[in-house]
Structure 1
Amino acid sequence: MMTAPRVRRLIRRLPWWIATVFLIGAVLLWIFPFVWMLSASLKDNTEVFAAGLNLIPEMLVWENYGRAWEDAQFGRYLFNTVLVTVITVIIVTLRCAAAGYVIGRYRFRGSRLIVGILVATIFVPTGYTIIPVVQVSLQLGLIDSLAGMILALSGGANVASILIYAGYFRQLPRELEEAAIVDGAGFLRTFLSIMFPLAMPVTATVALLTFLGTWNAFFLPLVFTFSRPELRTLSVGMQAFIGQDAVDWSGMTAAGIISIVPVVLLFFFLQRYFVEGIAGAVKS
């Protein structure tokens, strides 16, 4: 028989147990689609529909991954996606860091107007920017190349990334720049040698956000590879499984797993820096 102190202790912990059960249920509900897709990638097309929500395949069909990798050319698409994403992340990170450094550390005439214009671009739908980007790329002869795709993907406003950098740089002490000036360092050297290395948590955050956006981009890669299928990225390559009369669902889910794995691994290694970068920018 439970004593009165023990009953009171259980009552005090009741909200904790309720929250725990709720969060476990939410986690299971959130990961179920991913687990189902992994299971479907190991089934044939008939079993995908016949099994319903059953997660255990009757027979493992590893050929789905071979069909996605070779027949659908996802090996080439993966290379294209990695190349485009890595270069885009480098360009966007350096550009946003430099812009955020200037906005966060310097006060000049028109700085508030520039920030206002940047924030206003958030409300511009992506579809409105594709047409001018394509027109400029056509005039420059870059429409059917990976270089043109990289320039188009890295040329956006990236307002959130700039503001995250600005918030982080604003909280750093002025003594760092003053010491650099005394040592004879100019603007560029101060930024590259001192300020940018200190912003590594923010850099990881911006790099991860840019990686996700570029990796999952669809409209711009679709336009830039419309006449050259060999330049497709993973998101555009998914169309290879959609036929005129049928859809290869098992092959598509296998391709989806191939597309997701690099993103999950990157987030696993950068999650600590991601949280630190967001927390540092918000705190400032």
Structure 2
Amino acid sequence: MKRLIFGDHQPTSRIALISLAMTALCLIWIYPFVWMLATSLKSNTEIFGNPGLIPESWAWENYARAWTEANMGRYFFNTLFVTVGSVVLVTFATSLMGYILGRFEFPGRTLLFVATVSTVFVPQGFTIIPVFELLSAMGLSTGLLGLTLATSGNAIVIFVVLFAGYFSQLPKELEEAARVEGVSQWQIFWYVMLPLAKPMVVTVLIMQVLNAWNDFLLPLVITLANPAIRTLSVGIYAFKGEQTIDWTGMAAAATISIIPVVLLFILLQRYFINGLAGAVKG
């Protein structure tokens, strides 16, 4: 009788407690973003005089000032160019390498895989100087194309591992049926295997967008010789002067830079979760 009376309420209470705890954690997690958004709509004097989140007067001109006077419009285009270019290069290169490592057995495969994964432990700061010297030797150190190539080579090992795990779980009968039809190995990859890895492609797309859009150290070094090709992350740093910091302009510029990636993740989050689940399963 006690189970009949209270049994249905215990799971509901447990779910409610978990939901409240998760809600509290989410509020803590998004507070910096809310604070940044509120600060971007305040004046510089109001930041310290009004500690609350709601501005007394909505200073929308901060966004116009950040977009025009601080060249955020140019930096936005530069970041978009580098991000789109690196996403195309990284997705193609890592999917092809992941396909080879995940589907084929060949001498030295394990050694190649271990050597590739071991590069994850090399700090980015150790590779910046060789990358910059390589770009200089190619005559690409002062242009967006060179910055795109440098960004494409940053942290792609994880994507190779994810693609290899995803491709390894796909049925071998698909390739065998395609070979019976006379399809070449390249066509099997491009027309059969890659479309099946759509969730993984979207996962890599999102992760590379975040990596390229938010990267700071590498673009900072490469754009020293040509400030015109600065990205948003480097351009935001310009709001910090020698004596003062333009907090409202920095907050407005940061909001401009973060909104596109937030919208992209919201639109593609279902594929992102499916891709990670498939890679882990493989």
Q: Give the TM-score of the pair, scaled to structure 1.
A: 0.95
- Structure 1 residue 187 displacement after superposition: 1.4
1:43–1:60 contact (8 Å) kept in structure 2:
yes
Q: Distance in 2 between matches of 1:98 and 1:255?
A: 37
Residue in 1 that maps onto 2:179: 181
Q: Is the aligned partner of 1:234 residue 2:232?
A: yes
Corresponding residue SS for 2:182: coil
Q: Give the distance between the partners of 1:157 and 1:251, measured in 2 at CA.
A: 31
Residue 256 of structure 1 pairs with residue 254 of structure 2: yes
Q: Could you tell me how far apart the structure 2 residues matched to 1:113 and 1:157 are?
A: 19
Question: Does residue 201 of the first structure (1) align with residue 199 of the second (2)?
Answer: yes
Residues 5-14 or 24-33, more deviating:
5-14
- 1:56 aligns with one of 54, 58, 71: 54
Aligned twin of 1:29? 28
SS of equivalent to 2:67: helix
Q: Of 65, 80, 83, which aligns to 1:82?
A: 80
> Which one-letter code corresponds to 2:14 in the other structure?
P
* Alignment-derived partner of residue 64 in structure 2: 66
Distance in 1 between residues matched to 2:45 and 2:155, nearest whole Å:
45
Q: Report the AA paired with residue 15 of structure 1.
A: R
- Aligned 8 A contact 1:100 1:162 in 2: yes
Give the stretch that moved more between structures: 211-220 or 17-26: 17-26
Q: How far apart, in 2, do the equivalents of 1:105 and 1:4 lie?
A: 53
Residues 40, 183 of structure 1: alpha-carbon distance in 2 compared, 3 angstrom cutoff: same
1:15 CA drift (Å)? 2.7
CA distance in structure 1 between the aligned counterparts of 2:265 and 2:177, rounded to whole angstroms:
36
Task: Classify the secondary structure of the residue corresponding to 1:121.
Answer: helix
> Where do 5+ consecutive residues of structure 2 fail to align?
none
CA distance, structure 2, for counterparts of residue 64 and residue 149 of structure 1: 29
CA offset digits 1:247-267 (Å, max 9, x no partner): 110010000110001001110
Does the CA-based 8 Å contact 1:118-1:157 persist in structure 2?
Answer: no
Q: In structure 2, what is the Cα distance between the partners aligned to 1:191 and 1:5?
A: 57
Q: 1:8 to 1:179 in 2, by over 3 A?
A: closer
Partner residue in 2 for 1:120: 118
The separation in 1 between residues aligned to 2:209 and 2:50, in whole angstroms, is: 35
Specify the alignment match of 1:45 in structure 2: 44
Report the TM-score when normalising by structure 2: 0.96
- Bigger CA drift: 172-181 or 197-206? 172-181
Question: 1:266 maps to which residue?
Answer: 264
How far apart are 1:16 and its partner, in Å?
2.4
Moved over 6 A (4+): none
1:100 aligns with 2:98: yes
Gaps of at least 5 residues in structure 1 are none
- 1:279 offset after TM fit, Å? 0.4
Q: Deviations over 1:5-53 (max 9, x none)?
A: 545544454332221211111111111111111111000011112222x
> Distance between the aligned counterparts of 1:218 and 1:275, measured in 2?
26
Match in the other structure for 1:142: 140
Q: Tell me how far apart the structure 2 counterparts of residues 275 and 156 of structure 1 sit (CA, whole Å).
A: 23
**Equivalents in 2 of 1:50, 1:246: separation in Å?**
17
Q: Distance in 2 between matches of 1:5 and 1:85?
A: 58
Measured at CA, do residues 119 and 47 of structure 1 come closer, stay the same or move farther in structure 2, by a change above 3 Å?
same
Structure 2 CA distance, aligned partners of 1:156 and 1:227? 21
Alpha-carbon distance in structure 1 between the residues aligned to 2:103 and 2:131:
31
Q: Within 1, Cα distance between the matches of 2:115 and 2:3?
A: 63
Distance 1:141 1:189 in 2: 35
The amino acid that maps onto 1:128 is F
Which SS does the other structure have where 2:245 is aligned? coil
Residue by residue, what CA displacement relative to the aligned partner does 1:84-106 show, whole Å, maximum 9, x if unpaired?
Answer: 10010000000000000000000
